[in-house]
Amino acid sequence: MKVLIGIIATDEGERLFILNNGQPVLVKADGDNPERIYSNYSILKQHPSKINDEPMKGPGVFRFRYGPVTAGVREAGCFHLYTYGEKILRATIDISWKQREIGKAMQNMPPESALSMAERVCSNFAMSHSVAFSRAVEMSLNISPSLLTKNWRMLLIESERIYNHLYVIYKLASAAAQRVLAAHVSALFEDALRLNENITGSRYLMGINNIGKLNRTPAIANIQKIANGYGKLAEHFTELYKHSLTNYNYLDRLHSTGTLTPAQAGELGLTGPSLRACGVTDDMNDTTKHLISLPVITQKEGDALARMEVRAEEIVNSCQYLVNHLRASDSWYETEKKENEFTKADGKGYAVANSPSGALGYYVEVKDGKMQHVGIFTPSYPGMHAVSHMLEGLIFTDFPFVFDSFGVHFADAAC
Amino acid sequence: MIRWWPLYGLKRKLTERKEYVSSVKLRLSTTAVFKRSLFVYVIDVGSSNALNFEISALEAPQYNIHRFGIYLTDSPRHADVLLILGHPVQAMMDPLKETISQLPRPFYTITIDDNPDFPDLGEYPALPNHIAAITGVPSPSEILGLLLDVAKIKRKRS
């Protein structure tokens, strides 16, 4: 399976950043007629900050502006909803309110400083950004991180997945007025953030990863305790999730809301849980294949319920994965012998990480030990396109179920 | 078969009893008018999103902020405190000013700047009744400690 996740303008011409069976590759765009091969090519090429921006006219149709300051969507972003009353006829999403031009700001910085900025593109995906960026720089400078570093990166990405998925389910339960479920999932969300802090000293897993190495390795003495913490979290969440599946008020709000077909997901270039919820088995888990690969969770329906179910099952899987690997992690420390020093100062590299919402890619060019060009390709950008299209034809009360179920963020989309 | 949620909810006591202390010193002396309740409106002006997550974590039952009379409100017109998240990007300056103009008096503004070192974002603008400024990503405990200081609420509540 091939997915186009970004288009890069280089000195040698345009390059397509493609995920081929889970592995990132750069290919020349010239002569291949990429628009025919990749249906999301024009979206990524034009990269509009106003998504689906086609004003709509008709009897009684007006534009309802929602954002950038609203309690419903707390992030700085704006929706322009065209409607004649209850039904949303078109949804334009304006991501420009949060544009910080982080890729440009990284230019001329040393890789370590730019890494710290990558973590703050969207801090709830800090580990994924950090890992994708550091892998790209490592490729460009020909650095090979140790097994310990590689393994911890994998584990920490799963930690990130757990709290992000819990957050999405908490938002969905809140939107469906499931107060008890929302409160308990919110408590687990806080527990997951505390576990992150216990492992790395940061609730958002920031500042631990570096180019070619880890800034600090989690203390072996705490690891069994943390593994038990993830075991308990999985146990509590499973109990809660099973309980929620007997509640038809909750399920009815999610069922058949924002239904995405595999063809639509392919056209928009989606990856991650939103794609897997339409029954497509993506290959993102292959990025972890040097440890045991996680099973790929899929659902068939493609609606908000399917997206929630994929995330719920991934929480349990990731917890189990962490428990198993944390308990065996003391053997990795024996492999940590070398200090990675930069021997090269110039190069080009690209890499992806399996973020909680899909493939997250970086393309970097390093010259004289400083960043010359950084391209950031986030899962929230195609995700915002999907939200925009899925909202069409729905009623206003469906809005949070569509938006929250995709797990997209303005900070991530607008970087 | 449908299972009854309230029974599930009663099984576990999640609220923690601890003292919430903030290391941030208030810039202004506060009024005791918010002693019984403090309504907080949150605005994101360009944060990297960890702060939005921390506000959601603050709503978790472990903190149970309602027991202190602290509530997150959906409108600035109902707010006593405007909690401003992130370093303002240019596009959000006007919405921020507009939101401040909607606050009823007396009010306070609190800023949490998670990206103080980002280039090209400029200086933080001067704000009215700016009672506290935090840099970095504070934990929910620290944010709660600060709100308790602003409201002059006694800390320990069962």
Q: Return the CATH number at A281.
A: 1.10.645.10
In a domain, A362, yes or no: no
Q: For residue B158, what pLDDT is reported? A: 42
Interface of A to B at Cβ within 8 Å reads 68-69, 71-72, 74-76, 96-102, 105, 117, 120-124, 126, 167, 170, 178, 180-181, 183-184, 186-187, 189-190, 193, 203-204, 206, 240, 243, 246-248, 409, 411-412
Contact A69 B43 (CB under 8 A): yes
Do A177 and A36 reside in the same domain of the chain?
no
In a domain, B117, yes or no: yes
Q: Do the Cβ atoms of A356 and A160 come closer than 8 Å?
A: yes
Residue to test with chain A: of B2, B42, B47, B49, most A Cβ within 10 A: B49
Q: What percent of chain B has pLDDT over 70?
A: 96
pLDDT in tens, A341-368: 667 789 999 999 999 999 999 999 999 9
Residue to test with chain B: of A130, A184, A378, most B Cβ within 10 A: A184
Contacts of B84 in chain A (CB under 8 A): none
What does the alpha-carbon distance between residue A158 and residue A314 come to, in Å, rounded to a whole number?
Answer: 9
Amino acid at A246: T
CB-based contact, B4 to chain A, within 8 Å = no
Contacts of A76 in chain B (CB under 8 A): 44-46, 86, 89, 91-92, 95
Do A12 and A58 reside in the same domain of the chain?
no
Q: How far does the CA of residue A27 sit from the closest CA of chain B (Å)? A: 32
Q: Do the Cβ atoms of A182 and A170 come closer than 8 Å?
A: yes
Do A71 and A156 reside in the same domain of the chain?
no
In a domain, B3, yes or no: no
In a domain, A20, yes or no: yes
Q: For residue A341, what pLDDT is reported? A: 64
In a domain, A370, yes or no: no
Residue A258's nearest CA partner among A38, A59, A408, A377 is A408
Q: What's the burial of B112, exposed, middle or buried (CB within 10 Å: 0-12/13-18/19+)? A: buried
HEC profile of A138-192: HHHHCCCCCHHHHHHHHHHHHHHHHHHHHHHHHHHHHHCCCHHHHHHHHHHHHHH
Do A13 and A64 reside in the same domain of the chain?
no
In a domain, B99, yes or no: yes
Instruction: List the helix and strand counts (H, then E) for chain A.
Output: 15, 12
Q: How far does the CA of residue A289 sit from the closest CA of chain B (Å)? A: 29
Phi–psi pair at B71, nearest 5 degrees? -135, 145
In a domain, B67, yes or no: yes
Do A172 and A274 reside in the same domain of the chain?
yes
Given A340, A371, A396, the domain boundary residue is A340
In a domain, B29, yes or no: no
Do A15 and A69 reside in the same domain of the chain?
no
This model of the complex carries an ipTM of 0.95
In a domain, A24, yes or no: yes
Q: Supply the range of the domain harboring residue A316.
A: 144-340
Interface of B with A in 106-125 (CB under 8 A): 114-115, 118-121
Residue A202 has pLDDT above 70, yes or no: yes
In our burial notation (b when 16+ CB lie closer than 10 A, e otherwise), range A217-254 reads bbeeeebeebbebbbebbebbeebbebbeebeebeebb
Do A35 and A71 reside in the same domain of the chain?
no
In a domain, A411, yes or no: yes
Question: How many separate domains does chain B show?
Answer: 1
DSSP conformation letters of B37-75? -EEEEEEESS--SHHHHHHHHHTSTTT-GGGGTEEE-S-
DSSP conformation letters of A298-355? --SS-SHHHHHHHHHHHHHHHHHHHHHHHHTGGGGGGG--PPP------EEEEEEEEE
Cα Rg of chain B (Å, integer): 17
In a domain, B115, yes or no: yes
Residue A260's nearest CA partner among A69, A394, A102, A375 is A394
Contact A97 B91 (CB under 8 A): yes
In a domain, B89, yes or no: yes
Do A277 and A400 reside in the same domain of the chain?
no
pLDDT in tens, A268-296: 999 999 999 999 988 776 655 556 667 88
Weakest-pLDDT range from A206-220, A294-308, B74-88, B144-158: B144-158
Higher pLDDT, A37 or A331: A37
Do A329 and A398 reside in the same domain of the chain?
no
Residue A157 has pLDDT above 60, yes or no: yes
Q: What percent of chain A has pLDDT over 70?
A: 95
Question: How many separate domains does chain A show?
Answer: 3
CATH number for position B67: 3.40.50.12280
Do A331 and A409 reside in the same domain of the chain?
no
Contact B118 A105 (CB under 8 A): yes
pLDDT in tens, B108-154: 999 999 988 887 778 889 999 999 999 999 999 999 999 999 987 65
How large is the average pLDDT for residues A386-400?
Answer: 96
Q: Do the Cβ atoms of A379 and A146 come closer than 8 Å?
A: no
In a domain, B50, yes or no: yes
Contact A99 B120 (CB under 8 A): no
In a domain, A34, yes or no: yes
Helix (H) or strand (E) holding A264: helix A262-268
Residue B59 has pLDDT above 70, yes or no: yes
Do A31 and A73 reside in the same domain of the chain?
no
Q: For residue B107, what pLDDT is reported? A: 95
Q: What's the burial of B106, exposed, middle or buried (CB within 10 Å: 0-12/13-18/19+)? A: exposed
Contact B9 A170 (CB under 8 A): no
Q: Supply the range of the domain harboring residue B111.
A: 35-151
Residue A153 has pLDDT above 70, yes or no: yes
Do A41 and A54 reside in the same domain of the chain?
no
Residue B12 has pLDDT above 70, yes or no: yes
Q: What does DSSP say about strands A62-66 and A78-83: parallel, antiparallel, or unpaired?
A: antiparallel
In a domain, A117, yes or no: no
Q: What is the pTM of this model?
A: 0.96
